[in-house]
Amino acid sequence: MPGRIRIVKGAFATAVGLSMPRGRELDEVYLSYVNELLQAGHKCSIATHHYEIQQEAKKLVDLYKPSQADYEFESLYGIQEENLWALKAEGYMTKLYFVYGTEWYLYLCNRLAEYPLNLFRALTDVVGE
Ligand SMILES: Cc1cc2nc3c(=O)[nH]c(=O)nc-3n(C[C@H](O)[C@H](O)[C@H](O)COP(=O)(O)OP(=O)(O)OC[C@H]3O[C@@H](n4cnc5c(N)ncnc54)[C@H](O)[C@@H]3O)c2cc1C
Protein backbone atom coordinates (compact mmCIF):
# COMPACT_ATOMS: atom_id res chain seq x y z
CA MET A 1 0.00 0.00 0.00
CA PRO A 2 1.34 3.46 -0.84
CA GLY A 3 1.45 6.25 1.70
CA ARG A 4 3.51 7.04 4.75
CA ILE A 5 3.12 4.71 7.72
CA ARG A 6 3.47 6.17 11.20
CA ILE A 7 4.74 3.71 13.78
CA VAL A 8 3.44 4.38 17.31
CA LYS A 9 3.27 2.30 20.45
CA GLY A 10 -0.34 3.34 20.92
CA ALA A 11 -1.68 5.66 23.55
CA PHE A 12 -4.70 3.86 24.93
CA ALA A 13 -5.49 0.65 26.74
CA THR A 14 -7.20 -1.99 24.61
CA ALA A 15 -9.03 -5.23 25.31
CA VAL A 16 -6.83 -8.05 26.52
CA GLY A 17 -5.07 -9.79 23.66
CA LEU A 18 -5.40 -6.89 21.22
CA SER A 19 -2.18 -5.12 22.11
CA MET A 20 1.10 -5.68 23.90
CA PRO A 21 2.05 -4.00 27.18
CA ARG A 22 4.95 -1.54 27.34
CA GLY A 23 8.27 -3.29 27.66
CA ARG A 24 11.22 -4.78 25.85
CA GLU A 25 9.12 -7.07 23.66
CA LEU A 26 7.00 -4.17 22.40
CA ASP A 27 10.12 -2.10 21.77
CA GLU A 28 11.57 -4.93 19.70
CA VAL A 29 8.39 -5.22 17.65
CA TYR A 30 8.36 -1.45 17.16
CA LEU A 31 11.91 -1.50 15.84
CA SER A 32 11.22 -4.53 13.66
CA TYR A 33 8.44 -2.57 11.91
CA VAL A 34 10.75 0.40 11.41
CA ASN A 35 13.37 -1.99 10.03
CA GLU A 36 10.86 -3.59 7.67
CA LEU A 37 9.66 -0.26 6.29
CA LEU A 38 13.09 1.28 5.85
CA GLN A 39 14.45 -1.87 4.27
CA ALA A 40 11.55 -1.92 1.80
CA GLY A 41 12.02 1.77 1.02
CA HIS A 42 8.52 2.55 2.28
CA LYS A 43 7.80 6.01 3.70
CA CYS A 44 7.98 5.79 7.47
CA SER A 45 7.39 8.09 10.45
CA ILE A 46 9.14 7.01 13.63
CA ALA A 47 6.77 8.60 16.15
CA THR A 48 7.97 8.09 19.68
CA HIS A 49 9.44 9.89 22.69
CA HIS A 50 11.38 6.82 23.75
CA TYR A 51 15.06 7.78 23.74
CA GLU A 52 16.44 4.24 23.36
CA ILE A 53 14.16 3.51 20.42
CA GLN A 54 15.19 6.75 18.76
CA GLN A 55 18.84 5.77 19.17
CA GLU A 56 18.26 2.28 17.71
CA ALA A 57 16.19 3.71 14.85
CA LYS A 58 19.05 6.07 14.04
CA LYS A 59 21.22 3.02 13.36
CA LEU A 60 18.58 1.69 10.94
CA VAL A 61 18.42 5.04 9.13
CA ASP A 62 22.22 5.04 8.87
CA LEU A 63 22.11 1.48 7.54
CA TYR A 64 19.41 1.85 4.89
CA LYS A 65 20.01 5.52 4.09
CA PRO A 66 16.42 6.41 3.10
CA SER A 67 15.95 9.69 1.23
CA GLN A 68 14.99 12.71 3.31
CA ALA A 69 11.41 12.46 2.07
CA ASP A 70 11.08 8.82 3.07
CA TYR A 71 11.49 8.94 6.83
CA GLU A 72 11.18 11.26 9.80
CA PHE A 73 11.33 11.17 13.57
CA GLU A 74 8.20 12.65 15.13
CA SER A 75 7.33 13.84 18.62
CA LEU A 76 4.40 15.64 20.16
CA TYR A 77 4.99 19.29 20.98
CA GLY A 78 5.99 19.65 24.65
CA ILE A 79 7.01 16.03 25.25
CA GLN A 80 10.71 15.39 25.57
CA GLU A 81 11.32 17.69 22.65
CA GLU A 82 14.99 17.98 23.47
CA ASN A 83 15.52 14.49 22.05
CA LEU A 84 13.96 15.55 18.77
CA TRP A 85 16.02 18.76 18.61
CA ALA A 86 19.15 16.68 19.19
CA LEU A 87 18.19 14.38 16.30
CA LYS A 88 17.65 17.42 14.10
CA ALA A 89 21.05 18.83 15.09
CA GLU A 90 22.60 15.51 14.08
CA GLY A 91 21.08 15.89 10.62
CA TYR A 92 18.11 13.51 10.84
CA MET A 93 14.70 14.45 9.46
CA THR A 94 12.35 15.49 12.27
CA LYS A 95 8.79 16.72 12.70
CA LEU A 96 7.17 18.24 15.76
CA TYR A 97 3.45 17.51 15.94
CA PHE A 98 1.78 20.76 16.93
CA VAL A 99 -1.95 21.08 17.47
CA TYR A 100 -3.82 24.33 16.92
CA GLY A 101 -7.35 25.57 16.24
CA THR A 102 -10.63 25.82 18.10
CA GLU A 103 -11.14 22.14 18.98
CA TRP A 104 -8.48 22.29 21.67
CA TYR A 105 -10.59 21.00 24.58
CA LEU A 106 -11.11 17.54 23.14
CA TYR A 107 -7.44 17.32 22.35
CA LEU A 108 -6.56 18.37 25.91
CA CYS A 109 -8.81 15.62 27.33
CA ASN A 110 -7.21 13.17 24.94
CA ARG A 111 -3.72 14.07 26.14
CA LEU A 112 -4.75 13.78 29.79
CA ALA A 113 -6.40 10.40 29.23
CA GLU A 114 -3.32 9.19 27.40
CA TYR A 115 -0.92 10.28 30.11
CA PRO A 116 -2.55 11.53 33.35
CA LEU A 117 0.75 12.85 34.68
CA ASN A 118 0.35 15.62 32.10
CA LEU A 119 -2.06 17.21 34.55
CA PHE A 120 0.85 18.06 36.85
CA ARG A 121 2.82 19.35 33.90
CA ALA A 122 -0.07 21.66 32.98
CA LEU A 123 -0.37 22.94 36.56
CA THR A 124 3.37 23.60 36.72
CA ASP A 125 3.18 25.52 33.46
CA VAL A 126 0.28 27.64 34.72
CA VAL A 127 2.04 28.46 38.00
CA GLY A 128 5.30 29.07 36.16
CA GLU A 129 3.63 31.67 33.93
C1 LIG B 1 3.09 12.46 15.82
C2 LIG B 1 2.49 11.40 16.71
C3 LIG B 1 1.21 10.93 16.44
C4 LIG B 1 0.65 9.92 17.24
N5 LIG B 1 -0.59 9.45 16.94
C6 LIG B 1 -1.12 8.47 17.69
C7 LIG B 1 -2.41 7.96 17.38
O8 LIG B 1 -3.08 8.40 16.43
N9 LIG B 1 -2.91 6.97 18.18
C10 LIG B 1 -2.20 6.46 19.22
O11 LIG B 1 -2.69 5.56 19.92
N12 LIG B 1 -0.98 6.92 19.54
C13 LIG B 1 -0.42 7.91 18.80
N14 LIG B 1 0.83 8.38 19.10
C15 LIG B 1 1.56 7.75 20.21
C16 LIG B 1 1.28 8.39 21.56
O17 LIG B 1 0.97 9.74 21.45
C18 LIG B 1 2.49 8.32 22.50
O19 LIG B 1 3.64 8.76 21.79
C20 LIG B 1 2.73 6.96 22.94
O21 LIG B 1 1.62 6.36 23.48
C22 LIG B 1 3.81 7.01 24.03
O23 LIG B 1 4.71 6.06 23.67
P24 LIG B 1 6.19 6.43 23.31
O25 LIG B 1 6.51 5.77 22.00
O26 LIG B 1 6.45 7.88 23.34
O27 LIG B 1 7.08 5.65 24.38
P28 LIG B 1 6.90 5.38 25.95
O29 LIG B 1 7.88 4.31 26.24
O30 LIG B 1 5.49 5.15 26.33
O31 LIG B 1 7.38 6.73 26.55
C32 LIG B 1 8.68 7.25 26.35
C33 LIG B 1 8.89 8.43 27.24
O34 LIG B 1 8.03 9.52 26.88
C35 LIG B 1 7.21 9.90 27.98
N36 LIG B 1 5.88 10.09 27.45
C37 LIG B 1 5.27 9.26 26.59
N38 LIG B 1 4.04 9.72 26.28
C39 LIG B 1 3.89 10.86 26.96
C40 LIG B 1 2.84 11.83 27.05
N41 LIG B 1 1.70 11.70 26.35
N42 LIG B 1 3.02 12.88 27.86
C43 LIG B 1 4.16 13.04 28.55
N44 LIG B 1 5.21 12.18 28.51
C45 LIG B 1 5.07 11.10 27.72
C46 LIG B 1 7.27 8.75 28.97
O47 LIG B 1 7.21 9.19 30.28
C48 LIG B 1 8.61 8.13 28.72
O49 LIG B 1 9.59 8.79 29.46
C50 LIG B 1 1.39 9.40 18.33
C51 LIG B 1 2.67 9.91 18.61
C52 LIG B 1 3.21 10.89 17.83
C53 LIG B 1 4.59 11.41 18.15
pLDDT at 129 over 70: no
Q: How far is the CA of 30 from the centre of ligand 1 (A)?
A: 13
In this model, does residue 109 exceed pLDDT 90? no
- Amino acid 107: pLDDT: 80
Q: Is the pTM of this model over 0.75?
A: yes
Q: Could you read off the pLDDT of 12-33 as tens digits, one per residue? A: 778 888 889 889 999 999 999 9
Residues with CB under 6 A from ligand 1: 8-12, 22, 47-50, 74-76, 79-80, 97, 114-115, 118
| pLDDT for residue 84 | 97
Enumerate the H helices of the chain as residue ranges.
24-40, 51-64, 81-89, 104-114, 118-128
Q: How many other CB atoms are there within 10 angstroms of residue 9's CB atom?
A: 16
| Nearest atom within ligand 1 for CA of residue 95 | 1
Lowest mean pLDDT among 41-45, 63-67, 91-95, 105-109: 105-109
